[in-house]
Structure 1
Amino acid sequence: MRAALWLLALFGGAVAVALFAGSNQGSITIFWPPYRVDLALNMVLVLLLAAFVLLYAALRGFDTLAGLPLRARRWRMLQKERAMHGALLDGLAQLLAGRFLRARRAAEAAIARERSLAEGPERVPHGRQLRVLAHLLAAEAAHALQDGGLRESHLQRALDSAGAAAGSEAELREGAQLRAARWALDERDAEAALERLASLPVGASRRTLALRARLKAARLTRRHGEALDTARLLAKHHAFSPAAAASIVRGLVFERIDDARDSAQLEQLWAELESSERAMPEVAMHAAQRLVQLGGEPVRVRAWLLPAWERLASPDTQPPLLESQARKLITVLQDSLGGLDAAWLARIEAASQARPQDARLQYLSAMACLQRGLWGKAQQLLAACATQLPDAVLRANAWRALATLAEQRGDAPAAAQAWKAAAQAGVR
């Protein structure tokens, strides 16, 4: 459509010129004594147009000729800039391909070309950013080649080039600090990594990449409290899958629990845990077991185990415990039956009566009866569950308890038979 309009306009202009020039009878007379020159008006107009075109062409030609040195200088600069970018891209490609020596050489070539451009009259606008990236590329290649001295040299030059400016240069400086922290972690130098991370601004230190590095450094230095706080932040940022986040947090809580040196310290740690962490059966049982080892009060142990016990006693209303978790819960509760109160005795008896087919609950009820001095009921429950217990340790404990009860009654044959069954269960 546009071409058709231009064609119509061209034809219209040609018709207008033809009408004007065809009927134009005017003339121009030029007196140059002693001469006289008569020219048609159309000829004069044509000559003026030709003179204008000639003058315009001459001026454009002179301008082009005068600007040739500047254009030649800009062309040379453009060629150098292209070579600089090509060297940087080649270095990145070589680094990704695992050819670290070539990557370092290409990065150094890019740095040299950038330096030559910076010394000229016209500098590259993004030359500083490119210089920082080239130094980081060379440092990365040197790190892969295990050349620590050259790596630190390029890293320091990158940091000096980035300066303390804002914007993209500040991002480059933060990126260099993060890479330095990762290099320190690769060399198992957690203290240096933490120092690099501490120099980051507050916003950059809370990024996922920085938090991952901080988590690894804290675990290497066995700073379990800091590692746990970092893992919680990563879980809130969805840096891990829910299952992985729960596993990492659970492992760090275990390590903090193992670091406790007395019951007071462990109770303080338990109070600092989040409610979701205290609700984990593995965490509660591990903390309760550690509290038993540190000589803590059995009442506190049973209070920590109450949520896990409710899951074991009522599997229909709550997610059931795994077999290993249930076995450990029975073991820890058995070790904390000292001073058993009536409320817990009622809980255990109600669970064993509601599920008589569960030998573990019958065993725990028997141990609770032993603790309260109910010998007859304990013997009855132990005799019913001793052969049905799936765990060899619990089965051996049940037979030993039966042997002890038989000795108290003076029934030597029954005691001998129970001791023999306990020994056989222990061998298995």
Structure 2
Amino acid sequence: MRAALWLLALFGIAAAVALFAGNNQGTVTLFWPPTRIDLSLNLVLLALGLLFVVLHLALRALAALFSLPIQARQWRLQQKERALHAALLDAMVQLLAGRFSRARRAAQAALAQERMLAALEAPLPQAPQVRALAHLLAAEAAQSLQDQPGRDAHLHQALQEGDDARAAAGLAPETREGVQLRAARWALEDRDPAASLARLAELPQGAQRRTLALRLRLKAARQAGRPQDALDTARLLAKHRAFSAGAAASILRGLAADLIGQAHDTGQLRQAWARLEPAEREIPEVAIQAAQRMIALGGEPATARAWLLPVWERAVAQPRAMDEGLRIKLARALEASLDTVDADWLARIEAAQRADPRNATLQYLAGMACMRRQLWGKAQQLLAQAGTALQDAELHRRAWSALAELAEMQGDPARAAEAWKQAALGR
């Protein structure tokens, strides 16, 4: 369609020129004494047009001739820029391929190309960022080569270039933040969590809450033995869905257990327990460890039993939700706090045992609770049933040891000796 319109336009122009030129009787007379020259108006117009075209082409040729040095300089600068970008790309590729010496040489070559461009008074628009990236690649290669002095030198230069990039108009501060994050990771690789945390603390508040920064903070806090900071960071990461549900639960469980394990007296243990969130307190491993730690530190058994109550209720309501290993640990933790067992807990244990009469672990726990409450006959019956069915060696030994003590209290040395024998044989 466009070609047809152009063709029609050309026909129209040709018709107009033909009409104008065919009927044009005008002349142009030039007087050059003593000569008179008469020229057709059409010829004069054609000559003027040709003169304009010739002058235009001559001027363009002169402009192209005089611009050759500028074009040659621009071509050389373009080649140097291409060499700079090629060196940066080569440094990245070599670093990814594990050729750290070549990566460092390529990064240094990129820096040399950038200095040449600056010396020619043709700096790149984002020269500080380019230099920072080149220094960062060189520092990364030096870190992989265990060249800490070289790494620190390039790191200092990269941070300085990051400051220059942030000071430049229109450039964001991500350059320096990226360098600081890499420096924090290098400190972790050097097993220096304090330096890593210091680097992370230098970041702006928004950057400190990024997923990468939080991951680094979590690793640094765990290396530094600061479970509370690690737990707070892991909570933020779980909130941001940085982990899968299973991984988040495992990490939170481990950190909560570390926090409980660092308590050296009952006061510290209560403070650590108070810092946990309600969902974390209901984790069976955490509650069991806290209760055992409370008993080991000489704390109140009632407090330990209160911490175990949500776990116990879940184990009773959903027997299949907890594996046998955790049920045994729960029984051991409850047994350790049975010295001052009250009637409510005795009723809970007996109700659970009656609801599942074939569960040897519940039989053992109920028997030990009855023994603490001086219900000798019932305790002997339950422990005897549990002793023949328990699969856990430790619980088996404790059940027969308790039966031996009961036999000695009743003055039956033969039965006591048999019970001690069974306790010694184990499983």
User: TM-score, normalised to structure 1's length?
Assistant: 0.95
Q: Specify the alignment match of 1:393 in structure 2.
A: 394
Confirm whether residue 201 of structure 1 aligns to residue 197 of structure 2: no
Superposition map of 1:71-86 within 5 A:
71-86=71-86
Confirm whether residue 150 of structure 1 aligns to residue 153 of structure 2: no
Displacement of 1:72 in angstroms is 2.1
- In the alignment, the residues of structure 1 paired with residue 244 and residue 144 of structure 2 have an alpha-carbon distance, to the nearest angstrom, of 30
- In the alignment, the residues of structure 2 paired with residue 115 and residue 322 of structure 1 have an alpha-carbon distance, to the nearest angstrom, of 66
Q: 2:191 aligns with which of 188, 193, 200?
A: 188
Q: Specify the alignment match of 2:305 in structure 1.
A: 302
Q: 2:265 aligns with which of 239, 262, 270?
A: 262
1:155-205 Cα offsets, whole Å, 9 max, x none, are 111111221626645211111111111111111122221221121111111
Residues 403 and 415 in structure 1, CA contact (< 8 A), matched pair in contact too? yes
Confirm whether residue 321 of structure 1 aligns to residue 327 of structure 2: no
Q: Specify the alignment match of 1:371 in structure 2.
A: 372
SS at match of 2:241: coil
Q: 2:220 aligns with which of 206, 213, 217?
A: 217
Structure 2 portions without partners, runs of 5+: none
Q: Specify the alignment match of 1:405 in structure 2.
A: 406
Q: Specify the alignment match of 1:69 in structure 2.
A: 69
Letter in 2 for 1:81: E
Q: Specify the alignment match of 2:231 in structure 1.
A: 228
Structure 1 portions without partners, runs of 5+: none
- In the alignment, the residues of structure 2 paired with residue 84 and residue 409 of structure 1 have an alpha-carbon distance, to the nearest angstrom, of 93
Letter in 1 for 2:318: P
Displacement of 1:269 in angstroms is 1.0
Displacement of 1:324 in angstroms is 0.8
1:373-407 Cα offsets, whole Å, 9 max, x none, are 11111112222222011212112211121222122
- In the alignment, the residues of structure 1 paired with residue 314 and residue 25 of structure 2 have an alpha-carbon distance, to the nearest angstrom, of 115
Residues 225 and 256 in structure 1, CA contact (< 8 A), matched pair in contact too? yes
Number of residue pairs aligned between Structure 1 and Structure 2: 424
Residues 162 and 169 in structure 1, CA contact (< 8 A), matched pair in contact too? no
SS at match of 2:225: coil
Displacement of 1:349 in angstroms is 1.1
1:66-124 Cα offsets, whole Å, 9 max, x none, are 32222222222111111111111111111112211111111111111111111223322
User: TM-score, normalised to structure 2's length?
Assistant: 0.95
Q: Specify the alignment match of 2:357 in structure 1.
A: 356
- In the alignment, the residues of structure 2 paired with residue 311 and residue 176 of structure 1 have an alpha-carbon distance, to the nearest angstrom, of 49
Residues 139 and 150 in structure 1, CA contact (< 8 A), matched pair in contact too? yes
- In the alignment, the residues of structure 1 paired with residue 293 and residue 232 of structure 2 have an alpha-carbon distance, to the nearest angstrom, of 22
Letter in 2 for 1:325: L
Q: Specify the alignment match of 2:53 in structure 1.
A: 53
Residues 396 and 423 in structure 1, CA contact (< 8 A), matched pair in contact too? yes
Confirm whether residue 20 of structure 1 aligns to residue 20 of structure 2: yes
- In the alignment, the residues of structure 2 paired with residue 2 and residue 170 of structure 1 have an alpha-carbon distance, to the nearest angstrom, of 51
Q: Specify the alignment match of 1:286 in structure 2.
A: 289
Q: CA RMSD in A?
A: 1.6
- In the alignment, the residues of structure 1 paired with residue 139 and residue 157 of structure 2 have an alpha-carbon distance, to the nearest angstrom, of 10
